[in-house]
Structures are given as structure tokens and as C-alpha cells.
Structure 1
Amino acid sequence: MKRLVLLGGGHAHLFVLEAFARQRPDADIRLITPDALTPYSGMLPGVLAGHYTSRQACIDLRPLAARAGCHLTLDRAIGIDSARRRIRLAGGGAVNYDLLSIDIGSTPQRPDIPGADEHAHPVKPIADLLARCAVVTPRAVSVLGGGAAGVEVTMALHHRWPAARCTLVERGTTPLGGLGVRLQRSVGAEFAHQRIDVVTGAEVTRIDADTLQLADGRTIASDFTVLATGAAAPAWLRNSGLALDARGFIEVGATLQSTSHAEVFAAGDVATLTASPRPKSGVYAVRAGPPLAANIARMMAGQPPLDWHAQRHALMLLACGRRHAIAARGGWVLKGDWVWRWKDAIDRGFVRRFDPQADSETAAG
């Protein structure tokens, strides 16, 4: 009997478990993940803003794994020996595999800025950020990083603490650089409406308890600083023997198999499609789920995996803190309260698909 290990409880692996729950393969299946509750990224800004409880934005992997006939190990990987097909765990154990699928997401990219470790809070893990938010009432909030995560987190924290001065700090010339002028203008108008400050072309040289120091001599008041500075690969992958891209993410081909080890699959933020790289976004992790499930099943049945061609453009739904959202795809942009209701229905439906109990709690606000 083949040993299949699913490493990580990311979005793509939800579809693998769902497929195995419908038709169990003749295999010894193990899911290794640090927590039984896996957060759904699309709802996390709403949790920060207070629209959802943490439980509403999480999927309980325990019943899903049980339906799939999958052994659940609550632990964290700290290394992979791809030559010996062995995973080392933080708890001290090791697990061998014949087939491995990796969907562990990414880690926050911590900037090399003095004071960042002491005075700044990464967006991930979200549980740590939420715990800190629960015990403070800041006067001035800043978010470093003008990507989609930074934009949503800034507006979510502004909604959470309306009396606080909120500032988005971006090194480039504009938030959401490269994502289209119409979307940038729409987000800029929303920031102006909410009276959120945007500081661009900003090189932060130091983070103190109540200020940010910029390279041009300016200072920004901030007694609660959040890092949304992009995604980094887990450092331990460098010693795995797997082929990695320049940033340390696992290189995979169109079948979602490692380009160096055919018995290893990877999807979500931890993976880079070598032929057609896509942004590190939950949308693409979700899209990769069904083809990943199908190709793992084909490998276990002795059949060749099939190529998957990721869509070039994905629908982007940006939560605006208040119950308002912006939708963008290609060159068009729509915004309104109705877009938030549309996004809310999509997000709740996704979580409910895998965990019907998640939506049983009363919303936080």
C-alpha cells in the first residue's frame, strides 16, 4: 500500500481531501498540519474588521480528514530529505512517504529593518495578529506593504479602530503596482473617502514603538505597525533537495509535480509554476485544488498526470474594511456594498463547502 503524505492544510489540499472522501484510494494517507483549524484567506480581512469570528473564517480539518480516511498529525515540518523520502517534524518524529503533496503556504517576508522584530506584527500567522489586536487600542496604525493584502488589512484595521490614524506605507510609486490603473484609482478613491493616509516612495529605515523613520528624514506616527511586505518561502526548503526558484519556492511543472522529483507535488503559495508563474494568491491555490486531486489519484492508480493550465486573469475581490468591496478582473472594476455582499456569499459558501459547522456562529459585527 502506497504511503501518501499531504503536507499542509492549505486551500488546494481541501479539494484533495474532498475527492478522497467521495472515493477513497487504496493508500495509507496522512495529513500533517500544525493546526486542526485552517484559516480561509479570503475572510481574514473581515475577521480583522470584526465582521466574522475567527471560527467562521476557519475550516475544521478533523471531520474532513476522517471522511477521507486520512490520518491527521498535528505537527509542523522542519525538513524534507527528498533522497530518502522522509519528512522531519518539529515534534521530533519523522514520516516516510511514497508520494508527497506540499501545500503549506508561505511565510511573511520580514524586512531587514532595525526595530521590526520588536515593534512590528506580521500579517501571518493571523492568530498572532488577532491576539495582539485584542489587547491594544492604538492611536496611530501603519501597514507596510501596498499589495492586495496590505490594502485590505489597512482598511480592516481602520474599520476596527476608526479613531486611530491609519497610514499605508509603500516603497513603490503606488499601492497595487502593476495591477491596473483603474483598480489603483478605485482603491485610491476609497482610501481618500476613509481618510486613510498613503505614503509612497517610502524607504523605512527604523521601526520604533511609536514612530516609523524614513530614509528621507520624515517620520510617521505609528504605535501599531503591521508588516504586509510579501511572501517568503520556508527557509528549511533550501536543504530539501527539491528544485527551487530564485526565491526559494518549489518549482513545479504543468502537472503540479516537482521539476526534480516526480513523486512530489506542490500547490498554492509554496509552489511556482515554471512555465507560467502566477501571483502568490489564494485564488490560484483554490484553482489548483481540483487538478491536484485528480493528478494525485492518477499517480496512485498508475496513470500519468495531466497538464493544468492556470488561468491568466483571476477575479480580485478586495474588502474595504466597511461592508463595501471592489471587484476587478482584466480591465474592468466594480465597487459597492453589493460587491461586499457578493464576496461575502462566495467566501461563506467556500468555507461551508468543506466545513458546514463553521458558519453556525453569530457574526462578530
Structure 2
Amino acid sequence: MKRLVLLGGGHAHVRVLADLAERLLTGWEVHLVSPYRRQIYSGMLPGWIAGYYPIEACAIALDRLAGRAGIALLETSAIALDMRAQVVQCADGTALPFDAVSIDTGPMPALDGLPGAAEHALAVRPIERFIAAWPKLSDRIRQAHGRFDLLMLGGGAAGVELAFAIQHRASREGCRALHLTIVGSDALPLPGMPHATRLSIMALLAERGIVWRGGHRATGLDAHRLHLEEALALDFDACLVATGAAAPSWPAASGLATDERGFIRVNRELQCLSHPQVFAAGDVAAYADPRPKSGVYAVRAGPALSHNLRAFCEGRPLAPWRPQQRALYLISSGHRHAWATRGNWSWSGKWVWHWKDWIDRRFVQRYAAPQPNAPS
């Protein structure tokens, strides 16, 4: 029997698992390699911080989803591929042979070039590490007797949404010690968004008491101090990092075709350009039609990846995937208010937050495996 190995439990692989649960892959055994038994849906993380969701409502149980499809789960990480022997090398020492492999491990935090970040800051990714560390940091903020300076390094959607969520939670809990600052390299937050939206978000940050320090590039961190290029250093009590996606080092080291940043280069069928038995999707992939690193495109890639993995294993022609040029982005402000943008269009209001809430809940619930002994 041949073997398909799925590396990572990202958004695209969730769709693959669900499809395999509905229709098994004849003649193949499937293994899932993931360091975590669940996937936290990143779109709902700010809502958890703000206090709108318990963490369980933001999670897709990979173990139960895999179990429905009869897929073995190895709770570890891939650290290398031996392409000559066609073996996945895992962090726990497991060597897993494969005939086909699909990679959806998600990105690494972009900390290279930022000395001291690993020691003196908390990265938002991997999300499970952030979730584990957040309660302790939240307690520090809540119990502070004097001013507590929290820096958010990164002015993209992740950094801005989390900053709004943290401010909302602190305000709701009556915590007046928190002073929150976002540091970004662009003059305005949310690069790539419509200019009017960026100005609107800038105004709301000021209204909520969140300081925006734009046009500054961070050069490194010491204990309690962020150094900036051509600007005075900023002191902090805690620093969060949401500076974008970086590629893991092992795909390039394994000989896979990668771009200049280390992301796996794939064709429109989502096959690695150098090894057709290797597929990749999500933020770890460099698509034939370049797109921003975003969960939107990871979700959209899921059906195409699922179809082409099955077609490859069954010896049928693969179908090209052309991701949409413009995606819908939904950005919450922490007060049951959100913005929606698509291309140059933008909308905002409480109705947008409720729309986002409906979309997010529906995505997670779609892949919720039935609880043991639960009624069908």
C-alpha cells in the first residue's frame, strides 16, 4: 500500500482531511504530522483576546477530524525531507517513508534580522505558543500598579487587530495601567489596504488611546527596550511581534525548489517545481500566481489541493488553481465593529463585525468533528 503524508494542520489541510473523511483514498494510507492536536483558526484569535470567544470555539480538532478518515496522527513536526529515500524526518526521531507528501505547516515568525526578539519578545506565531503565554502576560497587565507599556511590533492586519482586541479587553476589565503602542515600518497602518481605510483605522487607534509609531524600522531588542533605525529607542514592559511570515529552513535544505525567501515554489497544480510528488499550500507555498501571505488564500487553496492530491494518487490529470486576484479582508476593532475591504472598496460598521463573526464561526463549525457519543 502506498503512503500519503500530510505535514501540518493548516487551513488547506483541514479541507483535505474533511474530504478524506467523506471519501477514503483507495490503495493509500494517509498520515498527518502535526505538533498540535488542534488548529486554532487565526481569524478568531483577536476575538478570543477581546473576550468574545472561548478558545475552544476557535479550534478545529485535527485529531478527531483525522480519526473520522482513519488517518494516523503523529504529534510532532517535520524537520527534513530525504528526497532520495522519500522519507520525512521528524523532530521526535520518527522516519516516515512516503510516496507523496503535502506541506501546509504555516509560516515561522519573521524574526531574522531582529536581534534579541526571540529572547525579549513574544511572537504571535506559532499561535499555540502565543496562546500558552498570553494568560501570564494578561495577568501582568491587569496586576500592574503603575504604567504598563506594551509594544506591538508590526502594523499589518494581525498586529492592528490584536492591539484593538487587547485594548478592548483592558478597557472592559477597568485596567487603566495599559499604554499600548504599535510600531510599523509604513507611515500608516495596514499597508496594501485602501488609503481611506488606513486613515480611518489611524483615527480610531488615536480615539482608543493606542499610539501609532509609523515609518520606523526595528533593528533589535534588549530587555525592555526596542531599538529603531534613525529614532530614539522605545522602552517597554512587554513586546509582541506580528511582523509577517518567514519560511522554515528545512524545505530549502531538503532540496525543494524555493523562492529567495525560502517558500516552496509550486505550479498552478500546487506541485513543487522540483519534485512533482511534493505538494504545498498555505503560507509555506510560493504560488505560481503570487499572492499575499494570508489565511484567505490558504482557505481558498484547500479544495484545489484536496482535488489534486486525490487525482495524483489515483493517476488522473490534475487541475490548475488560479487564486482570485482580490480577496475580502475583514478586520475587527475589538468593540463588535469591523472593516471589510476588497480591492479599493471598503465598508465598516457593527454589521461588518457580525458578518465576520458569522463567517468565522461557520468555517470552524464546518470542520467540527462530532464529539464521542454525541447524537448525530
Report TM bin, short chain: over 0.9
Counterpart for residue 21 of structure 1: 21
Counterpart for residue 61 of structure 1: 62
Counterpart for residue 260 of structure 1: 274
Shift of 1:130: 2.9
Counterpart for residue 312 of structure 1: 325
Query: 1:103 and 1:205, CA in 2 relative to 1: closer, same or farther beyond 3 A?
Result: closer
Answer yes or no: is the 8 Å Cα contact 1:205–1:213 preserved in 2. yes
Answer yes or no: is the 8 Å Cα contact 1:182–1:332 preserved in 2. no
Question: Gapped runs of 5+ residues in structure 2?
Answer: 142-147, 372-376
Counterpart for residue 183 of structure 1: 197
Indicate the structure whose relative CO is greater, using CA pairs within 8 Å and at least 6 residues apart: 1
State the alpha-carbon separation in 2 of the partners of residues 300 and 127 from structure 1. Answer: 32
Confirm or deny that 1:241 pairs with 2:255: yes
Counterpart for residue 90 of structure 2: 89
Question: Gapped runs of 5+ residues in structure 1?
Answer: 359-365
Query: 1:211 and 1:322, CA in 2 relative to 1: closer, same or farther beyond 3 A?
Result: farther
State the alpha-carbon separation in 2 of the partners of residues 172 and 309 from structure 1. Answer: 30
**Deviation per CA, 1:215-266, whole angstroms, max 9, x where unpaired?**
3342434211111111111112221111000000000010011111111110
Residue type of the partner of 2:13? H
Confirm or deny that 1:104 pairs with 2:105: yes
State the alpha-carbon separation in 1 of the partners of residues 282 and 54 from structure 2. Answer: 25
Shift of 1:157: 1.8
Counterpart for residue 50 of structure 2: 49
Counterpart for residue 141 of structure 1: 150
Deviates more, 1:345-354 or 1:169-178: 169-178
Confirm or deny that 1:152 pairs with 2:161: yes
Residue type of the partner of 1:12? A
3-state SS, counterpart of residue 150 of structure 1: helix
Residue type of the partner of 2:303? P
3-state SS, counterpart of residue 182 of structure 1: helix
Shift of 1:206: 4.2
Counterpart for residue 242 of structure 2: 228
Deviates more, 1:87-96 or 1:157-166: 157-166
Answer yes or no: is the 8 Å Cα contact 1:116–1:206 preserved in 2. yes
Shift of 1:128: 2.4
Counterpart for residue 161 of structure 1: 170
CA-atom RMSD, angstroms?
1.6
Answer yes or no: is the 8 Å Cα contact 1:171–1:201 preserved in 2. yes
Query: 1:111 and 1:161, CA in 2 relative to 1: closer, same or farther beyond 3 A?
Result: farther
Answer yes or no: is the 8 Å Cα contact 1:104–1:270 preserved in 2. yes
**Candidates 192, 200, 212, aligned match of 1:198:** 212
**Candidates 291, 295, 316, aligned match of 2:304:** 291
State the alpha-carbon separation in 2 of the partners of residues 35 and 240 from structure 1. Answer: 23
3-state SS, counterpart of residue 337 of structure 2: strand
State the alpha-carbon separation in 2 of the partners of residues 113 and 256 from structure 1. Answer: 32
Shift of 1:355: 0.9
**Deviation per CA, 1:179-210, whole angstroms, max 9, x where unpaired?**
22122122212212212110111133443443
Answer yes or no: is the 8 Å Cα contact 2:224–2:235 preserved in 1. yes
Query: 1:93 and 1:114, CA in 2 relative to 1: closer, same or farther beyond 3 A?
Result: closer
Shift of 1:356: 5.4
Shift of 1:114: 4.1
Answer yes or no: is the 8 Å Cα contact 1:145–1:169 preserved in 2. yes
Answer yes or no: is the 8 Å Cα contact 2:188–2:199 preserved in 1. no
Query: What is the TM-score of this pair, normalised by structure 1?
Result: 0.93
Answer yes or no: is the 8 Å Cα contact 2:120–2:223 preserved in 1. yes
Counterpart for residue 3 of structure 2: 3
Query: 1:205 and 1:241, CA in 2 relative to 1: closer, same or farther beyond 3 A?
Result: closer
Counterpart for residue 341 of structure 2: 328
Confirm or deny that 1:124 pairs with 2:122: no
Confirm or deny that 1:339 pairs with 2:340: no
Shift of 1:338: 1.6
Shift of 1:19: 1.1
Answer yes or no: is the 8 Å Cα contact 2:65–2:369 preserved in 1. no
How many equivalent pairs are there?
A: 357
